[in-house]
Chain A
Amino acid sequence: MMYMKSAYEIRDKYLRKDMLPTIFCPGCGIGSVLQFTLRAIDDLGLNQDEIVWVSGIGCSSRVPGFVNFDGLHTTHGRALAFATGIKLTNPDLKIIAFMGDGDAAAIGGNHFIHAIRRNLDVTVILINNFTYGMTGGQVAPTALKGLRGTTAPYGQFENPFDIAGLAVAAGANYVARWSVFNYLQGINSIKKALSKEGFTLVEFLSPCPISFGRRNRMKTAPELLRWYQKITVPLAKAKKMPPEELEGKIVIGEFADRDRPGLVREYEAYKKRAKKMMGWEE
């Protein structure tokens, strides 16, 4: 069904008209990922009034302002800490955290891994564009070695974070990574993520031609998409490849799909245990 609905229909149903146009540059991938997310919500038939969008700072973090839902646009990197308070106070609310790679993996890295460790019931949609787009193209902690940014003008010399890998190791219930080129897989992954308890993450390689592409000889979104096709390797194929061949590549696919109890369920059980231990309840 979802593939039949026009983008206009999705836009009119879910976006705040008085907030448009968005701040996004031509060729930016955030709008695509937003559309995937809204289509997933639409297809699942989720109640718009029972979803809260949270975000930190950066281009992708401006998304909660454009969607017609409750939204909390917070401080840089802290979205998941705010989300912890919202979710535990009102467990009926579904939380979507729309984050960037710098937001989630640099300044918010500690909140990110601890939210996963707790298995906070939240769906993180993560825009990975290897750069700080809003501030003009500084290198992000996901930038592959050699990629250029204004703060590493001669090419990144540090090792990158594999965010999806980090999330799997920290214990997330669902982790997938795609590029915006993987339209159907992306929507299906978001649907799965939104349907599960606990921490779920869908990471997208997303083009930023203006701040990132121009500095790396890929001035347009199509060039970046072609580059994604070149550097991404599906998980099944990657499993058969020797490690040296995977150097400089990014594996895409579903990395975790498990059903550990989420933080809300754990805390409800904890409350019961407390009352029992204090003799307040049988």
Chain B
Amino acid sequence: MRYPFPVGKSDFIQGDEAIARAAILAGCRFYAGYPITPASEIFEAMALYMPLVDGVSIQMEDEIASIAAIIGASWAGAKAMTATSGPGFSLMMENLGYAIMTETPIVVVDVQRGGPSTGQPTLAAQGDIMQAIWGTHGDHMLIVLSPSTVQEAFDFTIRAFNLAEKYRTPVVLLTDAEIAHMRERVYIPSPEEIELVERKLPASEEEAKLPFGDPHGDGVPPMPIFGRGYRTYVTGLTHDERGRPRTVDAEVHEKLITRIFRKILDHKDEIISYEEFMLDDADVAIVSTGIVSRSAIRAVKILRERGVKAGMVKINTIWPFDFDYIEQLAERVGKIYVPEMNLGQLYHLVKEGANGKAEVELIAKIGGEVHTPMEIVERVVG
């Protein structure tokens, strides 16, 4: 197959462009979007590439329709993605919940900018962490990934598709304006180098009749794609294993929702990813995610030069969050600092994880600029 960009070699590109190329290589063949800063370049790249690889790129009337279209595409058998920023992400909350409830594999990219509301369209922020996890109503579970470099934006996009397909769930790639618009060297692998996961399809007539059951015991039902003779009914109402609405049966509701939680939480060891840096002998830890991790790594190096035994953890999977790991970390270190580009969101997850075993301090910064390493250093040395 021919690709509209060089593969098997490095390139110097923006985060948005890296996300688009990764999606194409992950097998994404349906993109629907609505223009928004700072995510528009993802759409523009998809618009350029999709017709060439026999995929679809379409500009919808709003972000509600964009996510709706990719859910429809997914049920028709395509790997599908949309990308947006805060204001559009807010509009997507309705159908993000629909995708969770109907167990539809999709990838939603949120390129964070300053909010609330229209806020700071061109500047980076990390203010959507809680929204990505909890933005849609009702009890729900999904996966949220957070890259810190352009290379990671590429790699995590491929991982987002694999996780979405494997667990039949929406996956949010939560990035920010800084990574989206920054140019870095990125290795674009050739297709043979990329491991792809495809959704489970019904292996028998019996399995096809249980599109919301658990025939394999892993919580993930095979997905009967439309048009293949299965006559599947899909609804956002509480439904039984066959997909039939059962809206007043407490047992059916509990069984469905707990399975949607279980299919992800039972596999959290595989889904959760973080990277430690100089943490072995540390008595001060920095926990960060996304672009801020770049400053945090530098801050750790400076702190070490100054004789402070500092280390850090870069959180790659924001949700499900590894509370147990943070508790173990809290037992090892005296203090945890959480620098983030908001007024305290990751901080609350870390604090809950630390469970009182270590003091947790927030280093908040808003307004659109990433923390400088010295801003972190100065807070740690006091």
Contact = CB atoms under 8 A, between A and B. Distances in A.
A62 B244 CA distance: 11
B112 to A, nearest CB: 24
B56 to A, nearest CB: 5
Interface in A63-116: 64-65, 68-75, 78, 81-90, 92-93, 110-111, 114
A19 interface: yes
Contact of A84 (B2, B65, B74, B244): B65
B72 interface: yes
A84 B70 CA distance: 9
A78 B244 contact: no
22 contacts: A18-B242, A48-B231, A49-B227, A68-B231, A70-B232, A72-B234, A73-B245, A78-B95, A81-B60, A81-B69, A82-B68, A83-B72, A85-B72, A85-B76, A86-B73, A87-B72, A89-B30, A89-B73, A110-B65, A271-B51, A275-B52, A278-B4
A70 B330 CA distance: 51
- State which size class the interface on B falls in: 35 or more
A49 B52 contact: no
A270 interface: yes
B226 A52 contact: yes
A70 B32 contact: no
Interface string A247-272: 00000000000000000000100110
Interface of B: 2, 4, 29-30, 32, 51-52, 54, 56, 58, 60-62, 64-66, 68-78, 80, 94-95, 98, 226-237, 242, 244-245
A73 B227 contact: no
A139 B294 CA distance: 56
Contact of A74 (B58, B98, B226, B231): B98
Nearest to A271: B51
A110 B229 CA distance: 32
A78 to B, nearest CB: 5
B343 to A, nearest CB: 32
B94 A75 contact: yes
A78 B64 contact: yes
A217 B297 CA distance: 74
Contact of A64 (B54, B71, B233): B233
A85 B67 CA distance: 9
Contacts of B56: 88-89, 267
A111 B61 contact: yes
Contacts of A52: 76, 226-227
A158 interface: no
Contacts of B66: 81
Nearest to A79: B68
Given A74-B98, A82-B69, A85-B74, A90 B30 contact: no
Contacts of A274: 51-52
A50 interface: yes
A264 to B, nearest CB: 10
A114 to B, nearest CB: 4
- A-B pairs, top 8 by smallest CB distance, nearest first, are A85-B72, A85-B73, A81-B68, A274-B51, A81-B65, A89-B76, A85-B69, A82-B72
Contacts of B229: 49
B107 to A, nearest CB: 14
Nearest to B97: A75
B69 A70 contact: no
Interface in A27-69: 48-50, 52, 54, 62, 64-65, 68-69
A3 interface: no
B235 A65 contact: yes
A280 interface: yes
A87 B77 CA distance: 11
A72 B75 contact: yes
Contact of A75 (B29, B61, B98): B98
